[in-house]
Amino acid sequence: MVAKDPRKELVTESMNPYEKPPSVTTGQSIKNFLYNPQTGAVLGRTPSSWGKIGIFYLIFYGVLAALVAICFFIFFQTLDPRVPKWQLERSLIGTNPGLGFRPMPPEDNVESTLIWFKGSNRTNYNYWVTSLKNFLADYKKPGSSPGRGQNVVNCRDGKIIEPWQVCVVNVRDWHPCTEENFFGYHTSSPCVFLKLNKIYGWMPEYYNTTENLPPDMPKQLNATIHQLVQENSLQLNTIWVSCEGENPSDQENIGVVKYYPKQGFPGYFYPYYHSDGYLSPLVAVQFERPRPGILINIECKAWARNIKHHRNDKIGSVHFELLVD
């Protein structure tokens, strides 16, 4: 009869799954987890196990990355970097452009629309002059001047241009709303620049007849349109703008308002097709003699038959305040 090996019985007993394992210290448990000298495991896995799982995830994430890259490649084949996929009614922007103004108040007060300065203090009004100077810098670059680019041309009313051509915006000749004249801030006659938001492919419907003019259109603008209709002027193809005091008291305090180079955005700038060198047309509005020391609420509107106005939604118009000390 063969005698039993007591060492094998000890090993068998130690492998009993129902037996409570021998207690070890916390430090020893951490050491065994980091590296177990009996099995050669590192962080609970043997080197072969780590190799297998590493190869698996390498293949898994490689295939996943390839699928994502293929999807992006196919997706970008359907897009044109110059032409938006969703336009006009199908886009989030829609077909009603908004109106913006410059200069804007300092960035640390993003909710403010107040232009507040003292005309007798250059340090005080210098911020507004510098802000306009920076804003107009792109309009003064060589590429934005006529003759400095094949697609940049000097346009005029009635002139037909090619879709790939863009019209120059010559802001240098808009005296007194020029940098050399400090945009009128040094004489407490500030200039504010208006611009219409760009919507790809949008074409304005002009008020080029006296029929169905809006009842809330300013009388001065209404008279201008009537006069141009009588003259059969090409300037009728214009997106008109007007700036007025919001309330009766504001209208009394706003003073004389003048527009440069004309009271609107010429039609030859539209439609917008994202052509190289395109710059949005501007209108400089000068408030010649606003009453000092009084906060004046001003609302400017853009006028075309397909531009609707909604003060709360800020479409078709813009609001700001003016305070001259």
pLDDT 10s per residue in the chain (325 long)? Answer: 445 555 444 444 445 656 666 676 777 777 777 777 777 777 777 877 888 888 999 999 999 999 999 999 998 888 777 777 777 777 667 788 989 999 999 876 667 899 999 988 888 999 999 999 999 999 988 655 544 567 888 898 888 788 788 898 989 889 999 999 999 999 999 999 999 999 888 999 999 899 989 999 999 999 999 999 999 888 999 999 999 999 999 999 999 999 999 999 999 999 988 888 889 999 999 999 999 999 999 999 999 999 998 877 778 899 999 999 9
* DSSP state string for 178-194: SGGGGGGGGGT--EEEE
**238-245 and 296-303 beta bridge pairing:** antiparallel
In a domain, 20, yes or no: no
Same domain, 230 and 255: yes
pLDDT at position 12 is 47
3-state class (DSSP) for residue 240: strand
* DSSP state string for 201-261: T-------SSTT--TTS-HHHHHHHHHHHHHT-GGGSEEEEEEEESSHHHHHHS--EEEES
Domain range for 251 is 91-324
Same domain, 102 and 185: yes
In a domain, 29, yes or no: no
In a domain, 30, yes or no: no
Q: DSSP state, 248?
A: H
- Sign of the torsion angle spanned by Cα atoms 204, 207, 211, 215: positive
Q: Are 119 and 127 in contact (CB under 8 A)?
A: no
Kindly report the backbone phi and psi dihedral angles of residue 161, in degrees, each rounded to the nearest multiple of 5, phi listed first: -115, 160
Same domain, 59 and 172: no
Domain count, the chain: 2
Same domain, 68 and 199: no
Q: Which residues contact 264 (CB under 8 A, 6 or more apart)?
A: 238, 239, 240, 241, 283, 303
Same domain, 117 and 235: yes
Distance CA 143, CA 279 (A): 11
Same domain, 65 and 150: no
Same domain, 319 and 180: yes
Distance CA 152, CA 173 (A): 18
Same domain, 166 and 310: yes
Same domain, 51 and 125: no
Which structure tokens are listed for 239? Answer: 């997106």
Distance CA 119, CA 47 (A): 78
First-residue to last-residue Cα distance in the chain: 118
Q: Nearest to residue 267, comparing CAs of 202, 316, 315, 173?
A: 202
Q: Are 9 and 16 in contact (CB under 8 A)?
A: no
Same domain, 43 and 101: no
Side-chain half-sphere of 132: how many Cα atoms within 13 Å? 29
In a domain, 10, yes or no: no
- Sign of the torsion angle spanned by Cα atoms 269, 270, 273, 279: positive
Distance CA 205, CA 316 (A): 14
CA dist list (Å): 309 to 98, 105, 127, 264: 9, 24, 31, 16
**166-167 and 152-153 beta bridge pairing:** parallel
Same domain, 172 and 303: yes
Distance CA 299, CA 318 (A): 6
CA dist list (Å): 16 to 21, 38, 243, 285: 9, 18, 92, 93
Distance CA 38, CA 32 (A): 9
Which structure tokens are listed for 253? Answer: 């305090």
Q: Which residues contact 27 (CB under 8 A, 6 or more apart)?
A: none
Q: DSSP state, 272?
A: B
Same domain, 106 and 195: yes
Query: Is-above-0.85 flag for pTM?
Result: no
